[in-house]
Amino acid sequence: MAARNDGIIRAILGPTNTGKTHLAIERMCAHSSGVIGFPLRLLAREVYDRVVAIKGEASVALLTGEERIVPPTARYWLSTVESMPVATEGNERDFAFCAIDEAQLGTDPERGHVFTDRLLRARGREETLILGSATLKPMIRALVPEAEIVTRPRFSTLRYAGSVKLSRLPPRSAIVAFSAEQVYGLAEMLRRFKGGAAVVMGALSPATRNAQVAMFQRGEVDYLVATDAVGMGLNMDVAHVAFAGLEKFDGRRDRRLTISEMAQIAGRAGRHQRDGSFGTLGLGGDNGPAFTEEEIAAIEEHRFRPLDHLYWRSSNLDFTDVGALIRSLEARSDDPLLRPAPLSIDLAVLKALAEDPAIAARRGVQARRLWAACGLPDFRKVGPMHHARMVRRVFNYIVDGGHIAQDWFAAEVTRLDNVQGDIEALADRLAGVRSWAYIAHRSDWLADPAKWAERTRQVEARLSDALHERLTQRFVDRRTAVLVRDIGARGADALPVTVAADGEVSVGPEPIGHLAGFDFTVDPAARLADKRLLLAAAERRLGDELDRRARDLCAGEDSRFALLATPGGEIGIAADGHLLARLAPGRSLAEPALRTVRSLDRLSVPARAELRARMEGWLERQISRHLGDLARLSAAATDKQLVPPVRALTAMLADAGGLAPRRALAEPIGQLDRAARAALHKLRIRLGALDVFLPSLLKPEAQRWRAALLAVRAGQPMPALPPPGAATLSAEADRHGAALAYRRLGESWLRVDLADRLAAFAHRARAAERPGGETLEPIDRDLVTSLGLSDEALARLMAEVGFRADPAGAWHWRGTRPRTRSRPTPARPGNAFAALAGLKR
């Protein structure tokens, strides 16, 4: 594309968010053909997609170092500035429209000479636009005096917002850092504090970058961490830009950003008519980045020092030999505004290779091919010396018009076609494959360039997808991001909470944990740092669901509640298998206290009170149903119509849970007359030979409830219950046999009613004498056999009754033990009825 002077030339100058790029696209599409040169491959790709949507794929071409989409009928070309179709020997392209974006980059030490060359030489047949900062105005006036200068104001206001901590960074913010390590570190911190961030760097492939930006644009994450590449016209809905630093390494030294560079980056905040803000990121300490007052004022008011030079390198190259080529590249311009470009990577590589006499002797076409090989970008950032090795090998293949060996090319691409590894490994492979993609788009370097271009495209796509996945895995916690947004939501903006049939709780699309009954447990896969956030979300969003469950329980049947003994030894009330309250010692054995579990604290006060009343009513009904006789004992102990011995006995028996050894109650029993015994009979108390007990407590459910209440009062775990109807227990029941209404007989236990039957049989046998004074055998052999009592157990039982066996095996009455040796067991200290036991004493 040769320079022409017969078309309109306009310089559209102004700060960011002035619609310059949008204007260029509109103007190009209004012409029959056109080309726009962009500073970044990412931006060229973005605009390519927009123009394809307007003109169709067949009419639009994309030309970058690593990507070439050129339909035969292409009329509109989007490219990087380096790849813009320019006039070459025997090939003069002609476009009706031409535009150069971000032309102020003519001051960039590495690439500035390319922008300057396009500003001076790239022209459209009918119209040319030079887009850039207002600082470019004096350069346009001096170097392109025929250009019409149009200054455009910013659509929105940009204001300084000071320093903000990472944890208080507002949504829709972009953090700008100046190294990959810092970008990754900040993204990791945002994952913990805010749920994650998208990552954008110039080294990313377009596919990876677009996927990351799409997450940000869709609102899946509210934060973006980027290098300064974000300042080059990438359009995103950013409300605030936070600088993680104000210094960068420019390839030679660490230096502070210029005010125009700061403004270029800060200007990403605010889009169209929406205002934006910028500031610094407070990372703690006194050495954090800080703007000066002059810098803040200049950025807010868009006042920057005008440019006084551009970097330039001659485009009139001498290929006589390599030495002449180097001299022409280092030639100086006669215009003092055009300074010699600093040593760029392509010239540095050329000089390094020229140290070899065999290469320095190349002339003409070979020198031209050598210079083309030196144009291979150093995507891997390995520096001139290392990069020169690859360039030399490429040149050795193409020096005489040959092609790069396919086996070498294929082996290198195959080596990079590996999607395993971490972010750094994938990013390194992507940088490597970009070099091979660049080579594949040189039609004169490969025998089958179309095949290898497609092959490298596929590898880059796979690596891009894998890198996007790794970046998302490492830097995005979608659940935390959803919850952070949800915490700030109000009313209709709040995300819906759902509880699945299996109890999984989700806020919006993200599961946060599991709800079992009223107990919410955080997703076990959540990191420790995220658990507080998930619990806060549950506290905030599950109130209505928990109240609904409470109302459902209160209105439900009694069958939904049950007495539960947990593996940890706690005894309480459960509903649908979930513990709701624990039992604690109360006013009496039959009146335990109720302690609701902490999970019920999430209920509203009315719902919690109603559910507690429902459980207390259920508990009272169950005790009345299964331990009604025990409850009547407590009432009898305070009945003044009963004689003192009856009240004392019922008080002591109630305190013992409806079962006590007869010896322990010997004193009040000895004072009972016939009327008192009749009163005890009405209370369903059996005065057995060995034990005094309530027969109704021997039923399976009554045994379970009695054992539970005794364990609660003693602060012990629930004993293991015997099978229904079990007559004996093994020695393992040593700790809990008494609580289960069994009498200890050596190594085994016998249920008290059966022990009483054997004792009563023995006493009847002793009382019934045969003619001649012979007594009956005092043992019910049939019952003993059916019970499976051992000889030791039988002997202990008979000894308790008052019999002993002689050496011949005959049983003889020896009388009961002296009462002085078996004092009555006092009532449990502190019991309200204990005083009744001592009335006689």
Q: What is the 3-state secondary structure (H, E, C) of 470-525?
A: HHHHHHECHHHHHHHHHHCCCHHHCCCEEECCCCEEEECCEEEEEEECCEEEECCC
How much is the pLDDT for 769?
Answer: 62
713-735 core/surface letters (b: 16 or more CB in 10 A; e: else): beeebbbeebeeeebbbeeebee
Residue 176: helix, strand or coil by DSSP?
strand
Residue 243 pLDDT exceeds 60: yes
Cα 279 from Cα 270, distance rounded (Å): 13
Residue 315 pLDDT exceeds 70: yes
How much is the pLDDT for 533?
Answer: 64
Residue with the larger pLDDT of the pair 143 and 689: 143
Residue 131 burial by CB count (10 A; 0-12/13-18/19+): exposed, middle or buried? buried
Let me know: does 226 contact 174? Beta carbons within 8 Å.
yes
Radius of gyration (Cα) for the chain, nearest Å? 47
Q: Of the segments 181-185, 295-299, 817-821, which one has the largest average pLDDT value?
A: 295-299
Cα 108 from Cα 228, distance rounded (Å): 14
Lowest mean pLDDT among 216-220, 606-610, 623-627: 216-220
pLDDT band for 347, please (50, 70, 90 cuts).
very high
Instruction: Please report, rounded to a whole number, the percentage of residues in the chain having pLDDT higher than 70.
Output: 87
How much is the pLDDT for 338?
Answer: 96
Cα 199 from Cα 227, distance rounded (Å): 9
Residue 666 token pair: 């010997």
How much is the pLDDT for 834?
Answer: 52
Residue 783 token pair: 């019952």
How much is the pLDDT for 271?
Answer: 73
**CATH 3.40.50.300 residue spans of the chain:** 1-153, 158-306
Residue 285 pLDDT exceeds 80: no
How much is the pLDDT for 827?
Answer: 52
Cα 124 from Cα 1, distance rounded (Å): 8
How much is the pLDDT for 205?
Answer: 78
3-class DSSP string for 121-168? HCCCCCEEEEEECHHHHHHHHHHCCCCEEEECCCCCCEEEEEEEEHHH
Residue 795 token pair: 């002997």
Fold observed for domain 158-306: Rossmann fold (3.40.50)
Average pLDDT over residues 40-65: 92
How much is the pLDDT for 79?
Answer: 95
Let me know: does 324 contact 356? Beta carbons within 8 Å.
no
Lowest mean pLDDT among 300-304, 602-606, 808-812: 808-812
How much is the pLDDT for 818?
Answer: 41
Amino acid at 750: L
How much is the pLDDT for 313?
Answer: 95
- The owner of tokens 């009555």 is 824
For residue 625, the tally of other CB atoms under 10 A from its CB is 12
Half-sphere exposure of 443 (CA within 13 A, CB side): 3
Listing from the earlier edge strand, what are the strands of the sheet with 691-693?
659-661, 691-693, 686-687
Instruction: Please report, rounded to a whole number, the percentage of residues in the chain having pLDDT higher than 90.
Output: 40
How much is the pLDDT for 331?
Answer: 94
Residue 582 pLDDT exceeds 90: yes
Residue 379 token pair: 């995507």
How much is the pLDDT for 529?
Answer: 57
How much is the pLDDT for 752?
Answer: 87
Mean pLDDT over each residue of the chain, to the nearest integer: 85
Average pLDDT over residues 742-763: 86
Strands 510-516 and 504-507: antiparallel
Cα 441 from Cα 25, distance rounded (Å): 26
Average pLDDT over residues 116-131: 95
Name residue 77's beta-bridge partners: 35, 61
Taking alpha carbons only, the member of 799, 709, 813, 711 closest to residue 755 is 799
pLDDT band for 75, please (50, 70, 90 cuts).
very high
Lowest mean pLDDT among 411-415, 572-576, 803-807: 803-807
How much is the pLDDT for 211?
Answer: 87
The helix (H) or strand (E) run that includes residue 785 is helix 781-787
Helices (H), 663-739: 666-670, 674-682, 700-714
How much is the pLDDT for 346?
Answer: 94
Amino acid at 154: R
Cα 186 from Cα 224, distance rounded (Å): 10
Listing from the earlier edge strand, what are the strands of the sheet with 578-588?
561-565, 571-575, 578-588, 591-596
Average pLDDT over residues 378-405: 91
Strands 686-687 and 691-693: antiparallel
Cα 6 from Cα 27, distance rounded (Å): 17
Residue 679: helix, strand or coil by DSSP?
helix
Residue 28 pLDDT exceeds 70: yes
How much is the pLDDT for 738?
Answer: 59
Residue with the larger pLDDT of the pair 279 and 181: 279
Give pLDDT tens digits for 188-232.
888 877 878 999 887 777 788 888 888 888 888 889 999 887 766
Residue 825 pLDDT exceeds 80: no
Give pLDDT tens digits for 455-500.
999 999 999 999 988 888 888 766 666 666 555 544 444 556 778 8
Residue 50 neighbours by CB under 8 Å, 6+ apart: 25
For residue 102, the tally of other CB atoms under 10 A from its CB is 24
DSSP letter (8 states) at residue 91:
B
Residue 27 pLDDT exceeds 70: yes
Residue with the larger pLDDT of the pair 416 and 779: 416
Cα 658 from Cα 672, distance rounded (Å): 18
Let me know: does 112 contact 106? Beta carbons within 8 Å.
yes
How much is the pLDDT for 491?
Answer: 43
For the chain, the 3-state helix, strand and coil shares in percent, each to the nearest 5, are: 45, 20, 35
Residue 263 pLDDT exceeds 80: yes
pTM of the model: 0.63
**Strand blocks (E) in 684-771:** 686-687, 691-693, 728-729, 742-745, 748-751
Helices (H), 219-321: 259-266, 293-301
pLDDT band for 831, please (50, 70, 90 cuts).
low
Listing from the earlier edge strand, what are the strands of the sheet with 276-282?
158-165, 276-282, 240-243, 173-176, 223-226, 198-200
Name residue 751's beta-bridge partners: 742
Residue 567 pLDDT exceeds 90: no
Q: What angle, 0 to 180 degrees and rounded to 10, lies between the N-to-C axes of helices 644-655 and 628-636?
A: 140
3-class DSSP string for 420-445? CCCHHHHHHHHHHHHHHHHHHCCCCC
Half-sphere exposure of 753 (CA within 13 A, CB side): 14
Residue 746 pLDDT exceeds 90: no
Fold observed for domain 1-153: Rossmann fold (3.40.50)
Q: Compute φ and ψ for 309, nearest 5 degrees.
A: -165, 165
How much is the pLDDT for 356?
Answer: 93
Go through the chain and tell me how many residues it has.
841
Residue with the larger pLDDT of the pair 303 and 561: 561
Let me know: does 145 contact 5? Beta carbons within 8 Å.
no
Residue 523 pLDDT exceeds 80: no
Residue 372 pLDDT exceeds 90: yes
pLDDT band for 820, please (50, 70, 90 cuts).
very low
How much is the pLDDT for 828?
Answer: 54
Cα 716 from Cα 703, distance rounded (Å): 16
**Strand blocks (E) in 611-707:** 659-661, 686-687, 691-693
